[in-house]
Structure 1
């Protein structure tokens, strides 16, 4: 069911995670002399973007969808950690890091949206359980 609110929220999370690839924060990660940072950040971002998209189509099995969204949350926390590390390694905080701050904000917004979608999935599971009790 694509019209469920959590499907829309998960798609927005996919878009926000994917948009970090086109941000200055990702460019700094790729151009870092330690190439493992850029590669690991790219893999983590790819997983953080694809897991919410995959979980949209798991609406028939809500318990599995909840597990996939939880894994997505942990992946997004890892991506946020990498993003914060890259951001802080750029030296100083100020107005000259505006583009990188937007990338970090996108990661935080995606994490919050995924948390909200997880809550909505849990609410759906509880609603189905309560309807089964009534029958």
Structure 2
């Protein structure tokens, strides 16, 4: 149902992806002369937000919900790869790139929360199956 822990995890993942728009890594991507990098990062951040919000309301069909979250996680991995690519093009990890690393961490944390949501949906599915066996 909507009040389950996976709903909270999906909402947090969506908020983390959305908050990545206000970090320095997004600003660096949009200021890049090759515009496809900024557009790629922006689209690979907004698509998982939309899919996560829609999949919150798919709680009646748990296998379908899991498949949509896995698709969202795949796009999230692409967003993380964009962030890593931008970070390495700026010179790698270091104290002078702390803000950019923070933005990349937000994207990675969003992926972690998506995986936690899948885990809790599977737990719910196992619980429902065990209750069906008892009846």
Q: TM-score range by the shorter chain?
A: over 0.9
**1:95 maps to what in 2?**
95
Separation in structure 2 between the aligned mates of residue 85 and residue 33 of structure 1, nearest angstrom: 15
The answer to whether the 8 A contact 1:6-1:117 is kept is yes
Q: Report if the CA contact (8 A) 1:48-1:79 is conserved.
A: no
Residue matched to 1:75: 75
- What do you get for the CA RMSD once the two structures are aligned? 0.9
Q: Equivalent residue for 2:47?
A: 47
- Indicate the residue corresponding to 1:58 in structure 2: 58
Q: Measure the CA separation in 1 of the matches of 2:92 and 2:129.
A: 51
Residue ranges of structure 1 left out of the alignment (5+ in a row) = none
* Residue 13 (1) aligns with residue 13 (2): yes
Q: How far 1:93 moved relative to its partner?
A: 2.5
Change (3 A) 1:14 1:58: same
Extract unaligned runs of 5+ from structure 2. none
Would you say how many aligned residue pairs link Structure 1 and Structure 2? 135
Give the TM-score taking structure 2 as reference length: 0.96
For the residues of structure 2 that align with 1:4 and 1:14, how far apart are their CA atoms? 16
Are residues 1:110 and 2:113 paired? no
After TM superposition, where is structure 1 displaced by more than 3 Å over at least 4 residues in a row? none
